[in-house]
């Protein structure tokens, strides 16, 4: 069974050019399904029926997996069995016409403008780590890029003079995002006074590095933003995407058009960006309720 999964993953990498993180996700989900089949004493993924796959999805739900997680597993299985059908390993696709469970649209947590300012003002020192942390937080809020995109920035991906960064999003898609003057100033200060003291070798290309001079990890950034949220006294649930969500919402609140925000966020589908309009409508209702004499 493993050889089929490996062949499929190789196809996704070579033929479709998917990012490493996406390949890892497919591999993990399919191997979990393979483990389920083995417990059911099915030793061939080609023998999985529609009923077996439905039983697997039910198994995931009973284990408390989120609707989005179950949908992701089904999407992986659909892609896998479509590949097996195309390569003539199977004669019938067991996932055909199987629909994903309805996703609950959860509005993302955002910070108010004043809360963002409190958070960004927390790194106050002039030591290399503080300069780095300040630059990272400012850059995240200035651009709305994902944390994964932030930590994979190299020094040649940022043009401070022209005021933009070049980042690579899902599926390794490249996009250019403008950077505001305040973030440019903080990144420049970090490059001049912070990064030079953190890196151990001239060959290191990562923009943001840890105390060992190597590329900062997502987990490392997670600890950093949690620390500063505590210092700022922010009780809201902070995630690595909080500044990204706040960036999008604040832009829309101040008149930015949806298409421009979609492009900056790197969303393939504008419906993904539209979730932020629900937040701005909620804000408008709140303002109306507080301000209108007959609300």
Phi and psi (nearest 5°) for 167?
A: -125, 165
Q: Which two tokens stand for residue 22?
A: 């996406």
Structure tokens at 113: 């403008």
Annotation marks residue 146 as catalytic: yes
Evaluate whether 25 touches 76 at the Cβ level (below 8 Å).
yes
Is-catalytic flag, 276?
Answer: yes
To the query of whether residue 241 is one of the catalytic residues in this protein, the response is yes
Please state whether 109 falls in left (phi above 0), alpha (psi between -120 and 50) or beta. beta
Q: Catalytic residue, from 73, 132, 146, 245: name it.
A: 146
Tokens of 170: 């899902």
Distance set, CA 221 to CA 27, 72, 132, 149, 209 (Å):
26, 25, 11, 12, 10
Is 193 among the catalytic positions? no
Q: Which two tokens stand for residue 118?
A: 């409190």
> What whole-number distance in Å separates Cα of residue 215 and Cα of residue 150?
11
List, in order, residues 6 or more apart from 55 with CB less than 8 Å away: 40
Distance CA 229, CA 121 (A): 10
Q: Which of 65, 109, 170, 283 is catalytic?
A: 170
Instruction: Find the catalytic residue in 65, 78, 241, 283.
Output: 241
Options 195, 244, 245, 250, the catalytic residue:
244
Which DSSP string do the residues of 91-152 spell out, in sequence order? SS-TTTTPPPPPPP-PPPP---HHHHHHHHT-----SHHHHHHHHHHHHHHHH---HHHHHT
Q: Which residues are catalytic?
A: 146, 170, 241, 244, 267, 276
């Amino acid at each position: 069974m493993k050889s089929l999964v490996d062949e499929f993953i190789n196809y996704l990498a070579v033929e479709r050019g998917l990012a490493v993180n996406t390949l890892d996700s497919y591999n993990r989900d399919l191997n979990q399904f393979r483990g389920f089949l083995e417990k059911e004493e099915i030793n061939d993924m080609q023998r999985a029926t529609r009923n077996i796959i439905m039983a697997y999805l039910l198994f995931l739900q009973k284990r408390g997996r989120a609707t989005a997680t179950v949908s992701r597993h089904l999407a992986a299985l659909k892609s896998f069995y479509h590949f097996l059908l195309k390569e003539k390993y199977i004669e019938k696709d067991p996932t055909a016409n199987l629909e994903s469970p309805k996703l609950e649209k959860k509005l993302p947590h955002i910070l108010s403008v004043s809360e963002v300012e409190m958070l960004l003002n927390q790194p106050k020192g002039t030591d290399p780590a503080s300069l780095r942390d300040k630059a990272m937080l400012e850059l995240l809020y200035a651009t709305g890029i994902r944390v994964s995109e932030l930590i994979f920035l190299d020094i040649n991906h940022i043009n401070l003079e022209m005021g933009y960064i070049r980042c690579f999003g899902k599926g390794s898609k490249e996009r250019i995002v403008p950077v505001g003057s305040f973030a440019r100033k903080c990144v420049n200060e970090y490059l001049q006074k912070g990064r030079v003291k953190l890196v151990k070798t001239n060959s290191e290309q990562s923009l943001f590095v840890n105390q060992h001079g190597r590329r900062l990890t997502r987990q490392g950034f997670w600890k950093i933003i949690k620390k500063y949220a505590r210092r700022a006294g922010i009780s809201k649930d902070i995630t690595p995407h909080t500044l990204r969500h706040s960036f999008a919402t604040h832009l829309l609140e101040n008149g930015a058009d949806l298409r421009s925000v979609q492009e900056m966020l790197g969303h393939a589908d504008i419906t993904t960006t539209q979730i932020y309009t629900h937040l701005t409508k909620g804000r408008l209702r709140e303002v109306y309720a507080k301000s209108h004499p007959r609300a």
